[in-house]
Amino acid sequence: MLRRRGQEAARRGCGTGKSFLPFLDRGYAVTACDISAEMVARARAKAPGAEVSVADMRRLGRLGSFDLITCLDDSVNYLVEDGDLDEAFASLAANLASGGVLVFDVNTLSTYRTTFASDMTQDGPGLFLAWRGGCGGAEEPGCLAELVVEAFCDTGSGLYERVTTRHLQRHHPRPAVEAALAGAGLAAVGVFGQLPNGSLDSFASEERHHKLVYFAQQVAKGGETT
């Protein structure tokens, strides 16, 4: 969450803190959360002045009333069980101020049919990464997608430490996302395709873009967004 000049915002799935550091640099007071205790510890070490806690986006409780909530960089993709999306949006909406904006992203079918269907390696100083996709390249809307990443880190003694992480994600089709938003009293006021350089395209395509970025707001009784 970020505060500046009377405005407040929240950062969900903050990871190691890299995502909220630019806000600190601009004078915001930050409160953020992540489901991983290890990530939260690293974020706290980077930014002692920030309020960072361990939390599940599906069960946040009442943390405040925020003008901006961001949940970016794959967080929503890890909601794979039935009802997860509904619980997460309801939890986020409960912390959104009137007129506030929720911003989140989801992976497209193109990502699961290409990146998650590929095997890759990357070599760098003291680190070697092996990426093994579990998809077949013909995934359908709503599919589950698996990816295994193995990191080999130089321990400094001539030996490498091996760390394996398994990533299970679900594709969330736009109709499912918009239905879950509606159930939480929210509506998408903008949906954009994300380009490789991080910029947004006003044309959102499951085939052309690797991510879709949603901007959502609360819906008033008359059906208008607030």
Query: Tens digit of pLDDT for each residue in 109-128?
Result: 999 999 999 999 999 888 99
> Which 3 state secondary structure label does DSSP give 117?
helix
Region of 136 on the Ramachandran plot (φ > 0 left; ψ -120 to 50 alpha; else beta)? alpha
| Separation CA 148–CA 118 (nearest Å) | 11
**Topology adopted by domain 110-170:** N-terminal domain of TfIIb (2.20.25)
**Topology adopted by domain 2-107+172-218:** Rossmann fold (3.40.50)
**pLDDT tens-digit profile of 173-214?**
999 999 999 999 999 999 999 998 989 999 999 999 999 999
- Residue ranges, comma separated, of all CATH 3.40.50.150 domains in the chain are 2-107+172-218
164: tokens are 């394996």
Residue 172 has phi, psi (to 5 degrees) of -110, 100
Please state at what angle helix 174-183 crosses helix 84-93, rounded to 10 degrees.
Answer: 50
- Residue ranges, comma separated, of all CATH 2.20.25.110 domains in the chain are 110-170
